[in-house]
Structure 1
Amino acid sequence: MNRGTLALLALAAAGAIAAGGYWMGQRSNAGATAPHGAAATAASATAPRKLLYYRNPMGLPDTSATPKTDPMGMAYVPVYEGQDDGGNAPTNRVTLNTDKVQKLGVRTEAAGVKALDKVVRAVGRIEPDERRTYTIAPKFEGYVERLHVNATGQAIGKGQALFEVYSPDLVTAQREYVIAQQGVQSLEAGGSDAQSGMKQLAAAGLQRLKNWDISDEQLRLLEHGGAPRRTLTFRSPVSGIVTEKKAVQGMRFMPGDMLYQITDLSTVWVLADVFEQDIGAVRLHAKATVTLDAYPGRAFDGDISYIYPTLKAETRTATVRVELSNAGQLLKPGMFARVELAVPAASRAVTIPLSAVIDSGTRRMVLVQIKAGQFEPREVRLGMRSDTYVEVLDGVREGELVVVAANFLIDAESNLKAAVSGFGHAGQ
């Protein structure tokens, strides 16, 4: 090697030795200071936080001092000191900024005290008034000689002739009564005992004819010496409609056979089927409004006259009877009817809109606005309902603001935050 090369090698060796010494010195210095920094970091990582309680993972107002799970199997979320605005605000509240409240379209309404009138709606059918239905059934054996009314559905008036009958028993009874009447007259100058016996016989004959529904007009004719008639005319006891006719000219009938059925339709019934949950609110003599498809835009007013004591197991409904006047014969038996039953409020109560209630099936909740952008879910106990409002028995006080629009969105966001928080703690 020449002299220049040896000089370069010596210079390089000296630089390497110097660099190694510097590196060893830095390492020893780092080793001396590292324990202090690591200890500080470890101390800060292992410093225990103060556990306050465990809260419901779904944001419900339910806390626990010990770990547990909800009915769905989700673990309760631990809450530490300094968490959730320093631990001053309840953890079940939902906080939204003003922009998000406006974007969601959140609207609130104050709970107020009012009389809650309710309308129970039901469906029903027109039926004839059972108390205005009459059956024509002779009480003796005979034959139909002539029909004066021979069509079902025919309108008739009170006292109108229906049919004429011939009966050997009836002719015999008339003859016996006429003979007894003649005997009474012939014994007027005779002894009192004979006359008394003949009068009793005549009275018995007259009563027998009355029991057979012989008209007073025909009886008067017999009393004044009229001859027994071969046929007897049956007349309608009421004005109405022939709803059933079994009489045929020339037919033979037996005692008790129904020949005509006449129904007075000046008043009809509406039998409405009311659901089981509404029957407790229905009261006797309350007003009812009936509408029918046959007369759109027209309503018929009536009163609740009877609430049937039994419930239909198949439909879980009870029958309510409404009486309607039917002077114009517009209401026909068998028509389908829609019924609205008025239920007056018993007293004034705290009410909220129905739209404010979040019903999960097992519990009912509302969101109460504590302040701008902060909402608190509360479980409520509800009472009577109307079409738009519901009575609050417990959970909300008068004047408190409840969310009536976008409450489902707030509830969904609250549940999402609670679920994410629960998963985070589970991961830790």
Structure 2
Amino acid sequence: MKRSILLVVAAAAIGAATVAVIISRPFVLSSGDTKHAHVIAQAEPASAAIYYQDPDGKPLYSLTPKKTPDGRDYRAVPAGADISFDDPAEVAAAPPADRKIKYYRNPMGLPDVSPTPKKDSMGMDYIPVYEGDDSDDGSVKVSPGKIQRTGVKSEPAALRPIRTVVRAPGTIQLDERRVSVIAMRAETYLQSVADVTTGTFVKKGQALMQVYSPAVSSAAAEYVTTITSRTTAGEPSYGRGSRQRLMNLDVPDAVITAIERTRVVPVTVEWSAPRDGIVLERNAVQGMRAQPGDVLFRVADTSVVWALIDVAERDLGSLAVGQPVTVRARSFPTRDFSGKIAVVYPQVNRETRTARVRIELDNSDLALLPDMYVDADIEIGGSEPVLAVPDSSVLDTGSRQVVLVDKGEGRFEPRDVKIGRRGGGLIEIRSGVKDGEPVVVAANFLIDAESNLKAALKGFAEGAQQ
């Protein structure tokens, strides 16, 4: 950016000639410099005031004496004073007499210093750097005016609990332990099938079909003969083998109990649902012949379901079995389903770099359906407070992390820190900062830039002095 500066200085005194100095020069501003231009205007006599400035250093000026709204006089600025268009209050003030000048730096912020007063190629005076402006401890001093303009804010490091939420997508799946298959263990003929279809909810013990099986009829006849003759034998264990044969054929308990009570061999056997649940599959057709192993019905209890979510590899170390999880189904965005981590599968997907986590959810109202998309929120981090600072205060270069410690009076010290967990806008500080030490939380990049600039200037100054 180019800027033209036009300064008109007028000084008048009784019995003396009026002198006006007009200086106009364009120049290019450096992006890393905060002192833009300094122009020296001289008039005769030297003690005459060339303009008047607000006593608080605000950028308010007057060519004639003036008062502030609260009645204070504007400060007279004599000829020969150094005028700064960035911070007039700092430059217009007289140089401190009790401080020693260490070197002079380029007014444009270039890495050029001189041990003696000097002018640059445009005739601008080099700016003196006094002892104490650049300390050996690596700290940087920033003027109050610059702190106010850039919005520098500090906040003490304090003990705070850090809670982080891991978010991961997933799907609803059936609980493998709550799925039942109805399959015959012998050759069977289906006499009739109940009015039950895929998706129908059935109760445990509800009739699904009537079947005829030669193997079941033979086993039932043998059992009836056995229990009838048991009254003569008088042995309690008599006929146990015949009953076990019916059980091996998977005959429902209700049918076996009816045979024991009536002592009658049934022609057809009523097959019922083994559990409460949803009919996921129906292959039974009236009049068909079913071979051993053919799946006729598949029923699943969906009162408890699984949420299988894919968690990023970097978050696995923070997860543990039993952690509470909040699941939100995309079909019910305003409703939360609570569960706990049941299993963290011991394998990472090679392509997505994620691991599967299983969460058990109560689904008593059957709202969650298999293969439904869900989003899980897993809250990690303990309730124990740790030393933490706002995440905006940490300058991360990749290989190191730095915070700027506010030492007071406009001095800031860059300090390396070791960080830990992140979450809720906070970063855990494991070393480098003590509890209660104030750190810069806003405009720290500007201070860091000035720190780097002053470090470079200091190196050039030491070289020039040698």
Q: Name the residue aligned to 1:134.
A: 180
Residue type of the partner of 1:104?
A: T
Aligned with residue 268 of structure 2, among 203, 214, 231: 231
Kindly state the Cα deviation for residue 180 of structure 1 after the two structures are TM-superposed: 3.2
CA distance in 2 between counterparts of 1:221 and 1:156 reads: 22
**Structure 2 SS opposite 1:397:** coil
Q: Deviations over 1:150-190 (max 9, x none)?
A: 421111111111222222222222222233344445xx2xx
Kindly state the Cα deviation for residue 352 of structure 1 after the two structures are TM-superposed: 0.6
Aligned with residue 379 of structure 1, among 416, 433, 439: 416
Aligned with residue 345 of structure 2, among 304, 308, 320: 308
CA distance in 1 between counterparts of 2:365 and 2:463 reads: 76
Kindly state the Cα deviation for residue 149 of structure 1 after the two structures are TM-superposed: 4.7
Kindly state the Cα deviation for residue 225 of structure 1 after the two structures are TM-superposed: 4.9
Q: Deviations over 1:97-142 (max 9, x none)?
A: 2222222221111100123233322222222222222222222222
Q: Name the residue aligned to 1:332.
A: 369
CA distance in 2 between counterparts of 1:109 and 1:86 reads: 25
Q: Name the residue aligned to 2:82.
A: none
State which drifts further: 264-273 or 301-310. 301-310
Q: Is the 8 Å Cα contact of residues 84 and 91 (structure 1) preserved in structure 2?
A: no
Instruction: Output the aligned Cα RMSD.
Output: 3.0
**Structure 1 SS opposite 2:295:** coil
**1:97 equivalenced with 2:143 (yes/no):** yes
CA distance in 2 between counterparts of 1:321 and 1:109 reads: 41
Aligned with residue 145 of structure 1, among 182, 191, 199: 191
State which drifts further: 221-230 or 355-364. 221-230
Assess, with a 3 A threshold, how the Cα gap between structure 1 residues 413 and 285 changes in structure 2: closer, same or farther: same
Map residues 342-421 of structure 1 onto 2, 5 A cutoff: 342-345=379-382, 347-416=384-453, 418=455
CA distance in 2 between counterparts of 1:225 and 1:98 reads: 103
CA distance in 1 between counterparts of 2:372 and 2:427 reads: 34
Q: Is the 8 Å Cα contact of residues 178 and 227 (structure 1) preserved in structure 2?
A: yes
CA distance in 2 between counterparts of 1:423 and 1:229 reads: 107
More helix by share: 1
CA distance in 2 between counterparts of 1:86 and 1:380 reads: 25
Aligned with residue 357 of structure 2, among 307, 312, 320: 320
**Structure 1 SS opposite 2:146:** helix
Kindly state the Cα deviation for residue 227 of structure 1 after the two structures are TM-superposed: 3.5
Q: Is the 8 Å Cα contact of residues 178 and 225 (structure 1) preserved in structure 2?
A: no
**1:266 equivalenced with 2:312 (yes/no):** no
Q: Name the residue aligned to 2:65.
A: none
Q: Name the residue aligned to 2:283.
A: 246
Q: Is the 8 Å Cα contact of residues 123 and 272 (structure 1) preserved in structure 2?
A: yes
CA distance in 1 between counterparts of 2:195 and 2:152 reads: 72
Structure 1: unaligned runs, 5 residues or longer? 1-49, 51-81
Kindly state the Cα deviation for residue 310 of structure 1 after the two structures are TM-superposed: 2.7
**1:158 equivalenced with 2:195 (yes/no):** no
Larger relative contact order (CA 8 Å, sep ≥ 6) = 1
State which drifts further: 121-130 or 204-213. 121-130
Normalised by the size of structure 2, how large is the TM-score?
0.65
Assess, with a 3 A threshold, how the Cα gap between structure 1 residues 106 and 160 changes in structure 2: closer, same or farther: same
Q: Deviations over 1:53-75 (max 9, x none)?
A: xxxxxxxxxxxxxxxxxxxxxxx
Kindly state the Cα deviation for residue 332 of structure 1 after the two structures are TM-superposed: 1.5
Assess, with a 3 A threshold, how the Cα gap between structure 1 residues 149 and 423 changes in structure 2: closer, same or farther: farther
Q: Is the 8 Å Cα contact of residues 149 and 161 (structure 1) preserved in structure 2?
A: no
Assess, with a 3 A threshold, how the Cα gap between structure 1 residues 346 and 254 changes in structure 2: closer, same or farther: same
Map residues 35-46 of structure 1 onto 2, 5 A cutoff: none
Aligned with residue 162 of structure 2, among 105, 116, 120: 116
Assess, with a 3 A threshold, how the Cα gap between structure 1 residues 251 and 83 changes in structure 2: closer, same or farther: farther
Kindly state the Cα deviation for residue 391 of structure 1 after the two structures are TM-superposed: 1.0
Normalised by the size of structure 1, how large is the TM-score?
0.71
Aligned with residue 203 of structure 1, among 237, 240, 244: 240
Residue type of the partner of 2:371?
A: G
Q: Name the residue aligned to 1:172.
A: 218
Name the % identity.
40
More strand by share: 2
Kindly state the Cα deviation for residue 235 of structure 1 after the two structures are TM-superposed: 0.8
Q: Deviations over 1:241-296 (max 9, x none)?
A: 11223333333333233222211111222222222222222233232222222122
Assess, with a 3 A threshold, how the Cα gap between structure 1 residues 222 and 419 changes in structure 2: closer, same or farther: same
CA distance in 1 between counterparts of 2:129 and 2:457 reads: 16
User: Which of the pair has more CA radius of gyration?
Assistant: 1
